[in-house]
Structure 1
Amino acid sequence: MTFLYSLTNLKARIIMAYSLNSNYLWRIEFMNERKLHYLLLVAFSLSNKMIIEQTNREKLMPGQPKILEFLLGHDGCTQKEIAKACILDKSTVTSLITRMLLCGLVRKDSDLPDRRTNCIYLTEEGRNMAERVREICDVVDDTGWRGISKEERDDFCRIFEKIIQNLEEGEEKSYGTKTS
């Protein structure tokens, strides 16, 4: 029992050390690298790190880039819609939107019949920044897809969409409702 605990504890420390302060991905032999959750963790961590490094240079906080990119295609949506699409808590979206309002990246209008609900729109500066975010994400995507054929990409996307569907269905069974 102690041995299992120490392995779990070591794994948590290794992942934490990587995510907090390391430029190198430490792969330990006892961590099965073919496990889905581990592969997802590694892929997300690496791509997110690349995106954050670039968007920090643009003075964006984590979370703001995905909101900007979403608004680029869905200008005028509600904060609730942003939270659902960007997989963020409503309180997190409220905080990020407040900062984005202060920076002049977005504006809020109560366009809907229900004046209690606000629509969020990109400003000109916000639209320019959203385009820059899209360019950054395209470079990260291109890096990830390097050496992978169109057919392999299509297969991967089809399989990955099925994995997402399976996980959403599993979430429904576990919690009784879908969180998204």
Structure 2
Amino acid sequence: MLELYGRLVGKMERVHLLRRMFSQQLTNNTTLHFGQVPVLLYIREHDRCTQVDLAEALHVTPASIATSTKRLQKAGYLTKTVNENNLRCKQLSITEEGKRALELHKEPFDAFDRAAFSGFSNEELDTLAAYLDRIARNMAQQIGEELPADNIFAMQALLNRIMEQAK
């Protein structure tokens, strides 16, 4: 049975790596860098957030966020405005150009995902989703963690916390 588990885990890793490879190839051919996409997505969903909010949500250093936001601002994808109540605090908003860049970035992913799941019925996709959720719950239980909501930011936060504890 252990051999079967190993083969299944290998297949899951293969799917993950193929999607990462596609993502890397896509960002090599667009104006957005691989790491800038989560930044813009977060800002789009949390308009007028601060760089501190963004760094905490993405679990990266404030210096990393400062560099990313400076580049995104220079590219015209976001704006920084001074908070009226705290002049040292800058609030971030995505521009229309930034929204267009995200949409242009999203379209190839949608096509890639449609191709990846072609030939599956809705019932098969629901069954696969349920199996993957069960695997994720079992894995979270084994590492003694509650499974975060189906949110990539929450999963990254959990991973970062675990890595910090290991230091």
TM-score, structure 2 normalization: 0.65
Corresponding residue of 2:75? 103
Which one of the candidate residues 53, 56, 60 is aligned to 1:89?
Answer: 60
Q: Quick check: 1:105–1:127 contact (8 Å CA) kept in 2?
A: yes
Q: Percent identity?
A: 24
Q: Which residues in structure 2 correspond to 1:43-54 (within 5 Å)?
A: 43-54=15-26
Q: Does 1:34 align with 2:8?
A: yes
Alignment coverage as a number of residue pairs: 145
Cα displacement (A) at 1:129: 0.3
Structure 2: which 5+ runs fail to align? Answer: 1-5, 147-156, 163-167
Unaligned runs of 5+ residues in structure 1 are 1-31
Which digits, 9 at most, give the CA deviation of each residue in 1:105-129, with x for residues without a partner? 1112344855554332111211110
Instruction: Report SS of the residue matched to 2:7.
Output: coil
Structure with the larger strand share: 2
Tell me if the contact between 2:82 and 2:90 (Cα under 8 Å) persists in the aligned partners: yes
CA distance in 2, matches of 1:52, 1:136: 12
Aligned to 1:63: 35
Distance of aligned partners of 1:150 and 1:130 in 2 relative to their CA distance in 1, 3 Å threshold: same
TM-score, normalized by length of structure 1?
Answer: 0.61
Once residues 71 and 161 of structure 1 are traced to their aligned partners in structure 2, the CA distance between those partners, rounded to angstroms, is 28
What is the RMSD computed on CA atoms of the aligned residues? 3.4
Which has the larger displacement, 95-104 or 124-133?
95-104
1:138 aligns to 2:110 (yes or no): yes
Instruction: Classify 1:112/1:146 alpha carbon distance in 2 versus 1 (closer, same or farther; 3 Å).
Output: farther
Q: CA deviation at 1:132?
A: 0.8
Q: SS state of the match for residue 40, structure 2?
A: helix
